[in-house]
Amino acid sequence: MKTPAPREIVVEDLHRAFGGHAVLAGIDLTISRGELVAIVGGSGCGKTVLLKHMTAHFMPDRGRVLVADHETAGSPLRNLSGLSEDELDRIRVHWAVVYQKNALLTGSVYHNLAIWPREVLNLGDTAIRPRAERALRDVGLEPGEVMSSDRDSLSGGMAKRVAIARALVMDPVLVFYDEPTAGLDPEMCVQIHDLIGETHAARPGSLRHAGVDTDVSRTSVVVTHDTELLRRLRPRIVMLHAGRVRFDGSFDEFVESKDEHIRPYLAQMAFLHARLTGN
Ligand SMILES: Nc1ncnc2c1ncn2[C@@H]1O[C@H](COP(=O)(O)OP(=O)(O)OP(=O)(O)O)[C@@H](O)[C@H]1O
Ligand SMILES: [Mg+2]
């Protein structure tokens, strides 16, 4: 019998309010290693806030967020609230975030690709350059053409690819995307969907170096309003509503749902997606 995939992220009874306004009001969610999960829901429902709890940018008012620690044999779950900054840094080595607005730094593409390996992994240019070249090729960019380009000269689609390449340079076990197709034209959206799918399917190699849990599949969490992304990648879909998980299931179940809150959201998704900008 096949053993179930271990748990990668566990959110338990997560509550979070801002200025008296309860945004997350009891989120329970378990994500297994290797899953591709889309978090959807109306504008302002707390998708980004939930993502930021998973990446330890925010800490819960109540409840817990546990994430697998790939620096320790067996990858035990750790409660993010109980960790020191040093312990968090150690765990974060295996995560990467692709931000809605890319959050590329002023400077060249290489500068952006090198920053995390240099600061987080303490690598020098000789080690970083081949990783950066590989990551650019993985996102369909030619290193010789773009490596020294300035951030401000990139088109929206190229900037998103560079943001994904910056994540890939870290060879992450866990990848978080916040609205990865925001502001892109439909053709570019499709390319980014495929890139997210390919990135998800590729196995991270970083743990082979660490000598811990050598056979680990990548887990991807994508916050999105993009119905085409859901249609194409068929992730597990988790919809938030009124601070809680309203739906958790497949694409087919989602689009066929008769739920009074899902139907109007589905009807609105294209509008919400088109309204977003990526910069
Ligand atoms: N740092 C913060 N300080 C105060 N309020 C915040 C903060 N971050 C988020 N909020 C509030 O939390 C609520 C949820 O925000 P969040 O960004 O998670 O929504 P979202 O579901 O990602 O929406 P969208 O689809 O528009 O991106 C909003 O009311 C927002 O104003
Ligand atoms: Mg958001």
Band of pLDDT at residue 112, cut at 50, 70 and 90? very high
Give the pLDDT of residue 208: 55
For residues 118 and 66, give the distance between their C-alpha atoms in angstroms, rounded to a whole number.
Answer: 27
Res 279 pLDDT > 60? no
Res 278 pLDDT > 80? no
Which pTM was predicted?
Answer: 0.93
Question: Ligand 1: which residue has its CA nearest to atom 25?
Answer: 43
CA of 45 to the centre of ligand 2 (A): 8
Q: What is the atom index within ligand 1 of the atom nearest the CA of 58?
A: 1
Give the pLDDT of residue 62: 97
Q: What is the atom index within ligand 1 of the atom nearest the CA of 46?
A: 18
For residues 59 and 52, give the distance between their C-alpha atoms in angstroms, rounded to a whole number.
Answer: 8
Neighbours of ion ligand 2 (CB under 5 A): 47-48
**Rounded alpha-carbon distances, angstroms, from residue 163 to 50, 169, 170, 223:** 21, 10, 12, 16
Buried b (16+ CB within 10 A) or exposed e, 188-204: bbebbbebbbebbeeeb
CA of 46 to the centre of ligand 1 (A): 5
Tokens of 28: 């329970």
Percent of the chain residues past pLDDT 70, beyond the cut: 95
Question: Ligand 1: which residue has its CA nearest to atom 8?
Answer: 49
Average of per-residue pLDDT across 120-133: 92
Pocket of ligand 1 (CB under 6 A): 18, 23, 41, 43-49
Give the pLDDT of residue 44: 92
Question: Ligand 1: which residue has its CA nearest to atom 29?
Answer: 44
Q: Which of 16, 48, 53, 55 to mutate to test the pocket of ligand 1 (most atoms within 8 A of CB)?
A: 48
Average of per-residue pLDDT across 15-42: 96
Q: CA torsion sign, 192 to 194 to 198 to 200?
A: positive
Q: What is the atom index within ligand 1 of the atom nearest the CA of 240?
A: 21
Give the pLDDT of residue 210: 57
Q: Quick one: 7-275 is in which CATH superfamily?
A: P-loop containing nucleotide triphosphate hydrolases (3.40.50.300)
Eight-class DSSP state of 108: B
Q: What is the atom index within ligand 1 of the atom nearest the CA of 41?
A: 21
Band of pLDDT at residue 244, cut at 50, 70 and 90? very high
Q: What angle do CA 169, 192, 121 make, to 5 degrees?
A: 10
Give the pLDDT of residue 182: 86
Give the pLDDT of residue 74: 86
Nearest to 29 by CA among 16, 39, 19: 39
Q: Where is pLDDT greater, at 54 or 93?
A: 54
Nearest to 149 by CA among 198, 119, 109: 109
CA of 197 to the centre of ligand 1 (A): 27
Q: Which of 49, 51, 271 to mutate to test the pocket of ligand 1 (most atoms within 8 A of CB)?
A: 49
Question: Ligand 1: which residue has its CA nearest to atom 23?
Answer: 44
